[in-house]
Amino acid sequence: QLEEAIAQGAQLDAVDENGKTALMLAAQNGRADCLSALLSQVKAVDTQSEKGFTALIYAAEKGHSEIVLTLLRVGADVDLASNFGSTALIYAARKGHIDCVKTLLEAGASVDLKNKSGSTALMWAAGGGHENILRVLIDAGSNLSDSDEQGCTALTLATEKGHENIVRVLNDAQAGMSTSDLEVLGAASGSEAPSSDLQSAALRATTPSKQNLLPDQTNQAGSSAKKGPQ
């Protein structure tokens, strides 16, 4: 039906009530067949919806790794962010889609980009308990000492969420950091040169956190963090 519509001159860049194009819908729903047909006609692969989501972001958020790869091969901007400041890598890490994370990193995704609440892909992986993704992001050079607008690091979030396995991984990674790196962590948490980031995070966990939500939820006030892009 799509190929017939294309043959009849259908307006492929038309949008629905949420600003989604046919390409975005195909990417979101994992329709590789439709995507292929559309890409034979559509050249603007980085068109954004009303909330700034691209076809690549929709595919990454839903875990459609083959579609992510296809879009990257035709030139999709790997670091283009939504109106919330979140990239495809952040959404993939948030949802636990390891194959998408690997594909995006291999395509050159910037590992430490922050969204508008200051959250990185590493923070999402840590807060969500996604150990496999966390390890991949650490191997890709993620900054372990980065903190969001509330002062929370990846380790802080993992500690507050009770993800003991994540805490262990981060603490092991931290063990190889220099003294100057640890001093930066101490300054971020308001303590003096912690002997380990685990101790710093443990201290943070004993006081009420300003951030009761996972990173990026503050960008969608009143809405559920489980909701996908609109």
pLDDT computed for residue 52 by the predictor: 96
> How do residues 31-69 score in pLDDT, each as one tens digit?
999 999 899 888 899 999 999 999 999 999 999 999 999
Q: What integer pLDDT is reported at residue 56 of this predicted model?
A: 99
State which of 110, 145, 161 marks the end of a domain: 110
Same domain, 97 and 149: no
Domain that holds residue 80: 1-110
Residue 184, pLDDT > 60, answer: no
Asked if residue 46 lies in contact with residue 80, where contact means CB atoms within 8 angstroms, the answer is yes
Q: What was the pLDDT predicted at 181? A: 55
Q: Give the separation between CA 191 and CA 11, rounded to whole angstroms.
A: 59
pLDDT score recorded for residue 178: 52
Statement to judge: residues 1 and 106 lie in one domain: yes
Residues 117 and 195 in one domain: yes
- Cβ–Cβ under 8 Å, residues 153 and 147: yes
Q: Give residue 31's pLDDT.
A: 94
Q: Does one domain contain both 29 and 79?
A: yes
pLDDT of residue 131: 98
13: DSSP letter? T
Q: Is the pLDDT of residue 161 over 80?
A: yes
* Structural domain count of the chain: 2
Angle at 118 (CA atoms; ends 18, 141), nearest 5 degrees: 110
pLDDT at 182: 52
The pLDDT mean for the chain works out to 81
pLDDT (mean) for 215-220: 42
What pLDDT sits at residue 141? 96
Query: What average pLDDT does this structure show over 103-122?
Result: 98
Instruction: Please state which of the ranges 74-78, 113-117, 193-197 shows the lowest mean pLDDT.
Output: 193-197
Only one residue has tokens 């294309």, namely: 6
CA distance linking residue 101 with residue 118, whole number of Å: 19
Pairwise CA distance, residues 103 & 76, whole Å: 13
Q: What is the pTM of this model?
A: 0.77
CATH number at residue 54: 1.25.40.20
Please tell me whether residues 186 and 117 are part of one structural domain: yes
For residue 46, give the nearest of 34, 30, 36, 59 by alpha carbon: 59
DSSP string of 32-60, one letter each residue: HHHHHHHHTT---TT---TT---HHHHHH
What's the pLDDT score for residue 42? 86
Asked if residue 162 belongs to a domain, the reply is: yes
